Structure 1
Amino acid sequence: MGNVQAVAEAIAGEQSSGTFIALPNESVALRERSAARVEEVAEAPDEGNPSLPGSAGEGSPKTYRLTVSWPLANVGASLPNLLATVAGNLFELRQVAGLKLLDFSVPRAFADAYPGPGFGVAGTRRLSGVAEGPLIGTIIKPSVGLSVEETAELVEELCAGGIDFIKDDELQADGPSCPFDERARAVLEVIDRHAQRTGRQVMYAANLTGELDEMRRRHDLVQALGGNCVMLSLNSVGLTGFSAFRKHCSLPIHAHRNGWGYLGRSSDNGFSYLAWQKFWRIAGVDHMHVNGIRNKFWEDDDSVIASARACLTPMYQDRPLTVMPVFSSGQTVHQAHDTWRRLGSADLIHCAGGGIVAHPGGVSAGVEALRFAWDAARSGIPLETAARSSRSLAQALETFQ
């Protein structure tokens, strides 16, 4: 344990008052007020993955769980400086063969310094008019290539089918074939018309991602048009950009995690979703993407469910900062039962892009099928049994294998 303890101390020192050599002015008093402290080092199961390039260790590496604490005075109630401390140069130390941030906790001072979610689960339900059950959602597909008119036509079909939630794809920004302003006006005109008829407004998350001044202007346009949600790509705008936007924003923020793979895919390096999502909840998102059951990407179902539960787990007793998890990525009627069974909560948005738009009976049938699947799941009715009472669901089961 001696070498391991030395590495742990090197990590703590590098990220606080120490460096590669003893400093004559790092006094005992300075260390007492500013040095990070190693609280625990415990061996953990090792998956046998190779060391990162440049690692200094010899032989087969072992895995340890390390708990370190920092004085709040080092960081202040600042998310960017917290990130620099717990996920900064320590990832580059030669002494480590890999390093993954698994979790962190911070004092209530952080919750006091940031606005947190403006709407969360309750506000999303209120604005969408969905009092119980999941929000049945979709992504405008194809992701890019549709004109403004074609996008509005698809939204027309989705609204007619009774969809609860529609989002831009994260790739759809402000291109010349589908400019943001024109798209927002066309889509929200369709949504408003259906709201006038039904008394319920579909929630549309318009992708605002861009430079800060662009995002603020786009937000104001969506708000002026009567919109009720906006979307940002978190890794594109960063913590500081997001925080500046959040101070301006008065609509629910649908947070897309695109790029998460380069942060979380490695089992030995990067972030766990449990840790990563806390930064954004404190900063003030309202919805967080968590992937989906049997998704088209690399993540297994246990990880997806753990991510969704994390979003719904309070951070502070008197200020929970809970947000609505968003299931997506290759989702169809086949995932409803397992999502309900595994999560045990309907506080979620279930987004099926191709799983709705590619339904052989049309878009409205795709919406109906996914809703019917969820109704069956929550009622304890097997999917195949429910399909006997719903042609749209039976078609979906046959189409989406």
Structure 2
Amino acid sequence: MNPIYADLVASLNPKQQSYVNLQLPDPYNGEYLLSVFHLVPEGKLNILQAAAETAAESSTGTNFKVNTETPFSKTMNALVYKLDLEQNLVWIAYPWRLFDRGGNIQNILTYIVGNILGIKEIKALKLLDVWFPSSMLEQYDGPSYTLDDMRKYLGVYDRPILGTIVKPKMGLTSAEYAEVCYDFWAGGGDFVKNDEPQANQDFCPYDKMVKHVKEAMDKAVKETGRNKVHSFNVSAADFDTMIERCEMIVNAGFEPGSYAFLIDGITAGWMAVQTLRRRYPGVFIHFHRAAHGAFTRPENPIGFSVLVLSKFARLAGVSGIHTGTAGVGKMKGTPEEDVVAAHGILYMRSKGHFFEQTWTKIPENDKDAMHLVSEDSAHHVILEEDSWRGVKKCCPIVSGGLNPIRLKPFIDVMGNVDFITTMGSGVHAHPGGTKDGAKALVQACDAYLNKMDIAEYAREHSELAQAIDHFTKAQKDAM
């Protein structure tokens, strides 16, 4: 053993020793959820002592050794199994049998980013990446209704799904809200979503909003000949109200596939997220991540990364989650963070910050598993007839400061078109209004598909020309 590591191990007290094994034979043997934390100790503890305290507090232990532990309970101890002293990184292996066998995401997070984030022995503790063994994936739901299902319903296969967030985010009446939806759909858009605070406000009663959106959708579908989708925020104060809103939508006459259920996953909680997945497996479950920045922003030393949040959303069964604009839009984020997260939930095999995750439930070296990965890499639809073999994809949803002139730059950074973009002011700030904003977005996408510069394409498309002029000036003014 490296002499530095030997000195660190020698510094451990008996309790801490039981949460450290720097020679763990095979962390990838299927018994463990693996994790990587950035950790900076506080006070007198060295990094290994602080890591041991972290492993204890986030699994079986507390601040002192107790007399009630048993030989079996010790097998449930989380284990620090690797260190990077230069970057203050620690690897911890959690026996996944610790976790509620009901496929309970909140239970896992209560362990690994729960109480532990508040202990005084640490100055910085951020969960950067996690790895799930196939033996664990079997216990969790994974997505049911996916991006592929939405593509099939919309008849859209070779481009992003083009969406909007109704703006202003609050203050429109039910009829005014539906009018904005209609204008976007009539202009050629695919997908409209409630903004994350939308609920049952007195000026926009929920039942009337649902009714009018249905009428607006019917009119737009009849006029355009294309299916449309609306994502309704069903987040509520209690379980019964959430389900009541879901049932209101289900019974409003919408065609299956034409609606999604949006849940403010962090503020509403993982129980609400998983309830929707289990109650409504045939509905696109849309995870809005409001409040995630408190945990994920790079300058925050405490919390978890966008990748970790996104991986747990896929494990929970979310159909799509917001993953950021990779620095192209207005939200904080970089390609290293946002694109890695998007790819981490989209593909059957993807490289995270530290782990390569394969979302197969069968052995990675099984010929059928390898075929799934190959088909997925070739952008073929997988897991339609063999869902037991893996966890289905989760769709990146991209919003926050995008507009038609930023569509291609984001696609270039993303590296694919497998996402839903939901532009708010990028559509509604168009000089010609929402319908022309939608047309400009469609035209920008057409320019991309035709491999044409948008300025050249705009010569014969006035809505796109207006958008380019308006947003170019707006971006200069904002600088």
Q: If the length of structure 2 is used for normalisation, what is the TM-score?
A: 0.75
Cα distance in structure 1, aligned partners of 2:136 and 2:248: 31
1:313 is the counterpart of 2:383? no
Once the two structures are superposed, residues 8-56 of structure 1 have per-residue CA deviations (whole angstroms, 9 ceiling, x without a partner) of 22211222333322334445x34651221111011344xxxxxxxxxxx
Bigger drift between 239-248 and 272-281 goes to: 239-248
Separation (CA, whole Å) in 2 of partners of 1:362 and 1:165:
17
Aligned to 1:262, which of 284, 288, 294?
Answer: 294
The answer to whether residue 442 in structure 2 is matched with residue 399 in structure 1 is no
| Equivalences for residues 146-295 of structure 1 within 5 A | 146-210=172-236, 211-224=238-251, 225-226=253-254, 227-249=258-280, 250-267=282-299, 268-292=301-325, 293-295=327-329
Q: Select the residue among 335, 349, 362 that pairs with 2:420.
A: 349
Query: Does 1:370 pair with 2:441?
Result: yes
The change in CA–CA distance for 1:373 and 1:71 in structure 2 (over 3 A counts) is same
Distance 2:59 2:169 in 1: 45
Aligned counterpart, 2:26: none
Q: Determine the C-alpha separation between the residues in 2 that align with 1:39 and 1:375.
A: 51
Structure 1 Cα separation of the partners of residues 339 and 146 of structure 2: 18
Contact 1:282/1:321 (<8 A) preserved? no
Q: Which residue of 2 aligns with 1:131?
A: 157
Q: Secondary structure at the match of 1:103?
A: strand
For residue 460 of structure 2, give the secondary structure of its aligned residue in structure 1: coil
Tell me whether 1:113 sits opposite 2:139 in the alignment. yes
Count of residue pairs brought into register by the alignment: 382
1:107-156 residue CA offsets vs partner (Å, 9 max, x unmatched)? 34554333321211211112223222111110111111111111122222
Seen in structure 2, the aligned counterparts of structure 1 residues 252 and 44 have a Cα distance that, compared at 3 Å, is: farther
Report the 3-state secondary structure (helix = DSSP H, G, I; strand = E; otherwise coil) of the residue aligned with 1:336.
helix
Query: Contact 2:328–2:410 (CA<8 Å) still a contact in 1?
Result: no
User: Matches of 1:307 and 1:241 in 2, distance apart?
Assistant: 22
Matched, 1:66 2:108: no
Secondary structure at the aligned position of 1:99 is classed as strand
For residue 70 of structure 1, give the secondary structure of its aligned residue in structure 2.
strand
- 1:57 alignment counterpart: none
Which AA in structure 2 matches 1:262?
A
Matched with 1:91 is 117
Q: Given the superposition, is the C-alpha separation of residues 44 and 386 from structure 1 closer, same or farther in structure 2, using an over 3 Å criterion?
A: farther
Give the match for residue 43 of structure 2. Answer: none
> In 2, are the aligned partners of 1:254 and 1:288 still within 8 Å (CA)?
yes
Q: Which residue of 1 aligns with 2:333?
A: 299
CA distance in 1, matches of 2:135, 2:268: 24
Aligned residues of 1:103 and 1:274 also touching (Cα < 8 A): yes
The aligned amino acid for 1:295 is G
2:361 matches 1:335: no
Q: Deviations over 1:149-195 (max 9, x none)?
A: 11122222112111100011112211010011100110111112332
Aligned mates of 2:231, 2:59 — CA distance in 1: 41
The alpha carbon displacement at 1:298 in A equals: 2.6
Deviation string for 1:331-381 (max 9, x for gaps)? 111211111111121111111111111111232221121122222234432
Residue 41, structure 1, aligned to residue 74, structure 2: no
State TM-score, norm by structure 1.
Answer: 0.89
Which deviates more from structure 2 when the two are superposed, residues 78-87 or residues 30-39? 30-39
d(CA) in 1 for partners of 2:133 and 2:359?
9
Q: Are 1:223 and 1:251, in contact at CA under 8 Å, matched by a contact in 2?
A: no
- Specify whether residues 89 and 44 from structure 1 end up closer, same or farther in structure 2 by C-alpha distance, changes over 3 A only: farther
* 1:18 equivalent in structure 2: 61
C-alpha distance in 1, partners of 2:338/2:406? 12
Q: Identity of aligned pairs, percent? A: 29
Letter in 1 for 2:54: I
Q: Secondary structure of 1:40's partner?
A: strand
Q: Show structure 1 runs of 5+ residues with no match.
A: 46-63
Distance across 1 between alignment mates of 2:58 and 2:286: 33
Tell me the residue number matched to 1:49.
Answer: none
Q: Distance in 1 between matches of 2:218 and 2:85?
A: 58
| Residue deviations 1:278-304 (CA, integer Å, cap 9, x gap) | 222121111111222432233234433
For the residues of structure 2 that align with 1:302 and 1:279, how far apart are their CA atoms? 19
Partners of 2:144 and 2:392 within 8 A in 1: no
Structure 1 partner of 2:49? 6
Q: Does the 8 A contact of 2:142 with 2:391 survive in 1?
A: no
| 1:23 partner SS | coil
Alignment-mate amino acid for residue 155 of structure 1: C
Q: Which runs of 5+ in 2 are unaligned?
A: 9-45, 349-357, 361-388, 473-479
Amino acid at match of 1:291: G
Residue range with higher mean Cα deviation, 310-319 or 343-352: 310-319
1:395 and 1:199, CA in 2 relative to 1: closer, same or farther beyond 3 A?
Answer: closer
Q: Secondary structure of 2:108's match?
A: helix
Measured in 1, the distance between the counterparts of 2:250 and 2:152 equals: 17
- Structure 1 CA distance for aligned equivalents of residues 441 and 270 of structure 2: 35
